[in-house]
A and B are shown apart, each in its own frame.
Chain A
Amino acid sequence: MGWADWIGTLLGFVLTLLVFSYLVADNQLFRITLHLFIGVSAGFAASVVIHNVILARMLEPIYAGERSEQILALVPIILAGLMFTKISPRYAFIGNLPMAYIVGVSAAAAIGGAVLGTLIPQTLASMNMFDVQASQAFDADLGLRLINGIIILVGTLSTLAYFQFSSVSKSSEKSQLQTWIDGLGQIGQVFVAITFGFLFAGVFSAALTALIGRAVFAVDFIRSLAGLFF
């Protein structure tokens, strides 16, 4: 390891200890480390945006592009300039135009993706569980697959019912449909609990791997130090 790596490893070790000091109690050194991290992250984000977008895609067409490209490139430059007014509370309203543009495009892209990427494929998937021909291509045990398909279908519908939020009925008595949906929602809670339990285990696994990564780093650093002195 070169001296730069040594200093870096020592710095990383110290920062790791400072963050772990939060386990004992919240302290000022932990907060300083946190703020340093936020500053570094923001610095990298700004640097990447400037290199990859501002210089390469916004300004480059102006000085190296054709006439049509130059004219087209003026529009995002003007809109970007308007967006910077969002920093000032007094002139923030000027930045509403580029914000409206972004919101409109993002909403449309989200709708298209949701319809074509999730709604239709997942609905088809729930139905195709009962497609005998397709099932045979995937799994020899057709009966088990059909049973699983029923459980998945019931689970999907009951989970959707559980997350259904409807307005309060004016009449004191619930309609029969509402009663059915409520009952289905009760079943959906069980599936949601299982899914969230699975998620909980997954998040812990990810966090544990991060902890092991830090432990590996610390052990390697201490071993390197020991190797230096002994």
Chain B
Amino acid sequence: MDEIICPLCGKSNPIDNKYCDYCLAYLKPRETSEPVPDSDTNRGGLGGHSTGEQAPSWLKEIWGSNSSDEETPAERDLGLELPPADTSDWMPGSSAKESETQQAGSTVSPFLGGKESDDSDEIPAWLNDALIEEGVPEGQEAEDLESQPQYGEQDKASQTEKNAVRQGPGSLESAGPLAGLTGVLSAEPGIARIRKPKAYSTKIRISDSQLEHVKLLQSILEEEGQPKPLPEKSPISQQHVLRWSIALVLLISVFWSLIFSKGQIPLPIYDEGSAEVNRLINQLPENSRVLVGFDFEPGLASELDAAAYSVFDHLVSQGTLFTTISTTPTGPILAERFFQYILPNEKLIDGQDYVNLGYLPGGAAGLLNFIENPPGMMPYSIEGSSVWATETSEALPPVNGINEITDFEMIILLVDDPDIARIWVEQLSPYITDSQTLTSLVLVTSAQLEPIVRPYFESIPQSVNGLVVGLRGGSAYARLVGGEQLPGQFWDAFGVGTFVAALLILVGGLAYYVVPELSRTVRGQEKVE
């Protein structure tokens, strides 16, 4: 569809439109059938023109030569068709006659001047020359026009020719909202001319070195998002070899000792804590009642069995009756196992020689409750039978006459955990350290507890009266009283194992430290050379 560009707002309108759909400006110069009235007050435009003797001769000539034309002088000057008369009805003596004719093709912007391409009229040479003298040179006008949007189908050449004519001062406006007015100041071409906005490049101007830096940054940022492949680990590393070597050496030494050198090395002679326990047990009366706490984990059953074996062997030989209790859930089972499987030769009878009170929950709170009220806290054995004295039955022999914790002649605790040992000692300490009390507290502990419980043993007054520590303490006790079977099984292999471990830590540790340092020094020297 053919379009016409509005001379005012620059928007496209259909070719048949007389007015712009957006700003209501006339799209084409107005056509008049009558010449512009030759009147002083009616020269079109504001201010009018002087006529007659006042007008310059050349202007008169123009008026005269163009009076027969349909175009007004302004139109003739501009080569335009003025819009219809309604645009200048408010102007007195407006010479603009309404014309409904709209020429096919486009019009030239009233601010530019110039005729339409199909205008058969030729610009007079004198006019052309005047324009050239007064206005913008033809060439520049032509250039300006070429950069403008098209005004429809028109011959560029003729358009250029027309646009060589510039509007001079005092001329009649023939198009736009000021049509019919004279003395209209021409807008600056740069402002009035509708032209495409200059296209500015959106590309950043950067130098080559800056571009290199941008690429580098981009590559760094891209790498961040990508997972880096892990270096391939060899299935067998130096750490694996070291661990396997240690395990192999230790296992070989232990098995060798177990198979070939069982019982060849004598048990240790003296241990202060074990000696003290021996003295305390020797002081116990016949058929004494001993409370035994089984509070160790099944994993260390070997060590505690070996440590406690000779102690219990000694106690059984004294006719001691045992009451067992545990603050760990597996303790009652370990107690039953110890009396049934570890001391089988003793043939202790449940309910007669020992009673298993079972699990004492609550840690410190439970122990405190039991210490203050043993029958109330643990009324039944682990099997569910009544152990304490009632109206209808007597108490079982191990708990006969027991109402308070201090009624027991001795309390023995088998323990491997420092916190449990500390809780027992703390809760019992006020009773044990009481000068009125004859009850003694003996600890049979794992070797890992020795530093923690020894302050209680070494203190004055003692919170712990006797201490048998680990396999060494049990072996020393076995050497004192006999009953060397169980500790003796372990002692040889234990000595070999501890020696091998000490050697590995000492020699291996030094080698592990010195060799890399030496190699680093040598490599450094080689680099320097």
- Assess A/B contact in the complex (Cβ within 8 A): yes
Q: Which residues does chain A contribute within 8 Å of B498, judged by CB atoms?
A: 204-205, 208
Minimum CB–CB distance for A19 against chain B, Å: 11
Picked from A56, A116, A213, the residue with its CB within 8 Å of the CB of B490 is: A213
Question: What chain A residues lie within 8 Å of B446 (beta carbons)?
Answer: 202, 206
B458 contacts partner chain A, Cβ-Cβ < 8 Å? yes
Q: Are B364 and A106 in contact (CB under 8 A)?
A: yes
B333 in contact (CB, < 8 A):
yes
Is the C-beta of B312 less than 8 angstroms from some C-beta in chain A?
A: no
A111 → chain B, closest Cβ, in Å?
Answer: 10
Do B489 and A216 have beta carbons less than 8 Å apart? yes
Taking a contact as CB atoms under 8 Å apart, the answer to whether B459 and A202 are in contact is no
Indicate which residue in B254, B299, B362, B452 contacts A212 across the interface (CB closer than 8 Å).
B254
Closest beta carbon of chain B to A210's beta carbon, Å: 5
B426–A117 contact, CB under 8 A? yes
Chain A 193-230, CB within 8 Å of chain B: the 1/0 string?
00100110111111011111111100100000000000
Is residue B455 within 8 Å, beta carbon to beta carbon, of the partner chain?
yes
CA distance A206 to B303 in the complex (A): 7
Asked if A48 and B358 make an inter-chain contact with CB atoms under 8 angstroms apart, the answer reads yes
Nearest residue (CB) in A for B489 is: A216
Task: Take A113-B423, A125-B455, A199-B451 as given contacts and tell me if A53 and B471 are in contact as well, using a CB distance cutoff of 8 Å.
Answer: no
Q: Is the CB–CB distance between A212 and B497 below 8 Å?
A: yes
Interface presence of A90 (CB below 8 A): no
Interface residues of B in 460-479 (CB under 8 A from A): 460-461, 463, 470-472
Interface size grouping (class) on chain B = 35 or more
Interface centre among B250, B379, B451 (most CB of A within 10 A): B451
Q: CA–CA, A134 to B461, complex, Å?
A: 9
A121 is an interface residue with CB less than 8 A from chain B? yes
Chain A residues whose C-beta falls within 8 Å of the C-beta of B93 in the assembled complex: none
Choose among A23, A51, A106, A198 the residue that contacts B382 (Cβ–Cβ < 8 A).
A51
Q: Which of B26-34, B44-52, B427-435 contacts A (4 or more CB under 8 A)?
A: B427-435
Closest to A112 in B: B368
Inter-subunit contact B329/A45 (CB<8 Å):
yes
User: Is there an interface contact between B359 and A113, defined as CB atoms closer than 8 Å?
Assistant: no
Identify the closest chain A residue to B493 (Cβ). Answer: A212
CB distance from A202 to the nearest CB of B (A): 4
A118 CB contacts on chain B under 8 angstroms: 422, 425-426, 429
Query: Nearest chain-A residue to B247 (Cβ)?
Result: A23
Q: When chains A and B are docked, how far (Å) is the Cα of A30 from the Cα of B174?
A: 103
> B449–A202 contact, CB under 8 A?
yes
Within 8 A of A (CB), among B342-361: 358-359, 361
CB distance from A160 to the nearest CB of B (A): 13
- Chain B residue, CB-CB nearest to A131: B460
C-alpha gap A23/B241 in the complex (Å):
11
A164 interface hit (Cβ, 8 Å): no
* B261 within 8 Å of A (CB atoms): no
The B-contacting residues of A in range 63-118, CB under 8 angstroms, are: 105-106, 109-110, 112-114, 116-118
The answer to whether A216 touches B450, judged by C-beta atoms less than 8 angstroms apart, is: no
A219 and B450 alpha carbons, distance in the complex (Å): 30
| CB closest chain-B residue, reference A196 | B451
B306 contacts A209, C-beta separation under 8 Å:
yes
**Contact (Cβ within 8 A) A209 B333:** no
CB of A33 within 8 Å of the partner chain:
no
A134 touches B447 (CB 8 A): no
Partner of A110, one of B259, B300, B333, B364: B364
Q: Given A117-B425, A128-B460, A205-B447, are A51 and B384 neighbors across the interface (CB < 8 Å)?
A: yes
A212 to B471, CA, bound (A): 11
User: Given A121-B429, A124-B459, A138-B460, does the pair A106, B365 have CB atoms closer than 8 Å?
Assistant: yes
Query: How far does the alpha carbon of A44 sit from the alpha carbon of B297 in the complex, in Å?
Result: 13
Bound Cα distance from A211 to B299, whole angstroms? 10
**CB <8 Å contact, B426 and A125:** no
> Chain A nearest CB: distance from B344 CB in Å?
13
Complex-state Cα separation, A162 to B447, whole angstroms: 26
B residues in contact with A60, CB < 8 Å: 380
Asked if B494 is at the interface (CB within 8 A of a chain A CB), the reply is: yes
Q: How far apart are B200's CB and chain A's nearest CB, in angstroms?
A: 58
Are A49 and B329 in contact (CB-based, < 8 A)? yes
Q: Cβ of A215 and Cβ of B255 under 8 Å apart?
A: yes
Asked if A122 CB lies within 8 Å of chain B CBs, one says yes
With contacts A52-B382, A53-B359, A206-B300 taken as known, whether A41 is within 8 angstroms of B460 at the C-beta atoms is no
B501 within 8 A of A: yes
Q: Is B405 an interface residue (CB 8 A)?
A: no
- CB-based contact B470/A48 at 8 Å: no
Interface: B332 (CB within 8 A) = yes
Rounded to whole Å, the gap between the CB of B341 and the closest CB of chain A is 11
Closest residue of chain A to B474 (Cβ to Cβ) is: A209
Is residue A31 within 8 Å, beta carbon to beta carbon, of the partner chain? no
Among B251, B300, B358, B459, contact of A52 (Cβ-Cβ < 8 Å): B358
Say yes or no for A57: interface residue by CB 8 A criterion.
yes
Contacting residues, chain A, for B368 (C-beta < 8 A): 109, 112-113
Q: Which residues does chain B contribute within 8 Å of A114, judged by CB atoms? A: 426
Q: Which residue of A lies closest to B235 (CB)?
A: A25
Would you give the shortest CB distance from A44 to chain B, in whole angstroms?
6
B375 within 8 A of A: no
9 contacts between A and B (CB under 8 A): A23-B247, A48-B359, A106-B363, A113-B368, A128-B460, A202-B470, A206-B416, A211-B250, A212-B302
List 5 additional contacts besides A125-B460, A213-B303; criterion CB under 8 Å.
A23-B247, A203-B447, A206-B448, A208-B497, A209-B300
